[in-house]
Amino acid sequence: MSKQEFAPGLEIQDIAAPLSLRDFRLIAFDMDSTLVTTECVDEIADMVGKKREVAEITEAAMQGIITDFKESLRRRVALLKGVTVEQLQRVYTERVRLSDGARELVQACHAAGLKTLLVSGGFTFFTERVRAELELDFVRSNLLDIRDGVLTGGLQGQSWGDICDGQEKRRAVLELASLMDIEPAQAIAVGDGANDLPMMQAVGLSVAYHAKPRVRAQAKVAINSGGLDRLLEVLRP
């Protein structure tokens, strides 16, 4: 089945829409430029006058030009050395906004019985706050190394590893599906960048949200205009 316009600004391929949301059990979201409108690492960098350098690395990673996401993240985090926790909080308070329709989509998923996972190449400082705001069930993301209230320019290892890259996103989704005793086909993955492709390719329904061309081309659903809740036009509650 070739890609077709399901509605203005909404494309589908390889599915016969509309589908039922209740046929799925799990939905995984990327955070930056997906659940929230910003790239948090870029906004942190802007606080210390390094947004251009960090944003260039971010864009190259999301486009797939830089293929080693772990190395690209380490390079960006190193540029954040000296940022304070107070500055991180200012970024969250002043600059991080939920994407249009995010709350409505999450609420519809919970009402239909789906578990929600936030899996991000971003940082726990932000993902935990977004998790609380949206009442998400699970989260996996990167942990900034902070000493005496100041970023050291490094990351801390966690029980599952050191950096949540594309392969770790895929592993997290499949691991949770296994723990829930469901098939990957019963999971949905929503993202916008190249490091979201591994998890999007592993599940039953892949959703590109205002995504890079490479991601949009491979997704079964592409939301090109409007909010995240437009997925409910394809997945009826």
Catalytic residues: 30, 32
Instruction: Classify residue 83 as exposed, middle or buried by CB count within 10 Å of its CB (0-12, 13-18, 19+).
Output: buried
Report residue 6 as tokens.
């399901």
DSSP state of 16: -
Residue listed under structure tokens 């996103």:
169
Longest dimension (CA), the chain: 56
Report residue 205 as tokens.
């329904």
User: How many Å apart are CA 84 and CA 161, to the nearest integer?
Assistant: 25
Q: Is 130 left (phi over 0), alpha (psi -120 to 50) or beta?
A: alpha
